[in-house]
Structure 1
């Protein structure tokens, strides 16, 4: 059937389109992003949640994990030197991560001398001098003047004392602490990103390796690709096609294919309908009779031929074939050939027969006219007449 190559070509084209979509999607989503919670930071290369993302989805030392409260924990191994931190946000463009102490007392962590070790994936920090004040219970936070630079460290303050802190070079803060009789001392506080002006609940860490800034600037994603010479960082498209986009594109390319299928089904239904109608017309007439009143036999046959796509002989050519009426004696050109091989009825007197000139085979005129309009060959010997 002529439509088969069309369907095959469209099917092949559709499969190729889906392969292209899948390849683009897979290249961008080999390491899909994950979250420990809906409000948690997006975890993607160079970070990875080691329990759910592949080994090549992260960089050494930047593994994170999810705790039983669905918080993002960095790093997942205490021996890295930093201990545990809770990740609040990750800035992939600037390669910084905002972390806080899981117990809610970051100043206590910052005052530890062994906060960072050589195993840390983050560069060694710079230290800033902070002045810590241990004030008596008679001092209240409401007594601290605005913009004084003095900050209350709630997690270090107990009922009988209030601990405050400020940058050591802040003369106004130093003067206030002395006036309130606070016992003060100086401590070196580490910082990685920018010098702290206070001891807030979070701090920024910076990582240098791997360097993915060029990928982020190009609005792409950084990935680890293994070569024979060793690991290498590559940039891949930021977005493949989302699930919704894939469905939309697939629907777009499936639409013509589906239209052709439904069109072909409609074509078959029309063909069956016309064939049944013509068969009913033929079955309701006697051999050798004309079509029923009001039925244009030629028009019906032309309609049928156009609908089913069958090529026959035009009416002018058919009418040029010899046409003879059987006389009262019923004599035929060949007495032994007394049955029309189309309708399988014997020839009767006064019926019209038509002879095909090339092969001299004859049939009822009405039968052979209908036949030749849809077939360009003799129904008996199948010689082509077109």
Structure 2
């Protein structure tokens, strides 16, 4: 176990000194449907807190997978981040429902100076008219805001100056006043970001976005020089070379770490393998006595009757066939062992108990291994039986008969 712990210790050192320094500590991130997020912004749950600047936290919307920015402490004041221009320190936002006029009426952009580091350079005053269907006199410069309108009312928007001029023109004209002519509109004047106001006056509610800028932290010098902006350990803005981050340790240092950690790691693996093999061998030795005992018991010779001894076999009568091949049993003309017919001048041997004839050579070999007649399986009476041990000893001391 000690070898295993030592190996994992060296592995952790390898990861800490070799792998970690070669990676950027605050790599860029992004939502699936959003721009690239890097300092001074920080994508919550994906980047460390030290990777961003205070007030620049972004998040990913779980439903739309878009990047969102909150301009207040209320979750209902979230905006979709469409683009981030790090060189000009500008980002563009839009309403999640694509109805920016609603956010103008909510005055979501009025208190940026108090709650966020973002600014809007200039505003224009706009007048919103919430008119009933009975309204008969609508200014020509008013634009329909369809995302705020409904079946029982229609919302219009126009520059406040143009609305004031229209009121003056209706007051001096002989026509009835707005209230008496059936205008039936509720009036609200709000501040609208200048660029969005220009689009609102031309396209109505088809406003693409609102541009926000920031001045602190100022990373424009780093961006224009192609370097990365970030915080050091003292929370100061610094510029770093991205190539130096990717380079990490020198190649010689990497090779030194690989050799210095790899060789001890290999030795630890070999030691661990030796330890495991030793444990396996020890376990095998503990179980070996029982196996040896069973093996020795199985190797002891069993006393089994297998055949007759040589003198007993030679005591059985022999017969030399003549030319006529005449035998006591006329139908007994074939040796039952080799299945060959008897020929003149062949020696036959007879088993006394049953008077069955066989070739002498065939039945001699048979009786050495079997103590019964090959035909009737009778065992001759008074025959000397042999065991494997006795047959081995007798074969080693006796000489073959001529």
- TM-score, length-scaled by structure 2: 0.44
> Which structure has more helix as a fraction of its residues?
2
Point out the structure with max Rg over C-alpha.
Answer: 2
Larger RCO (CA under 8 A, 6+ residues apart): 2
- TM-score, length-scaled by structure 1: 0.46
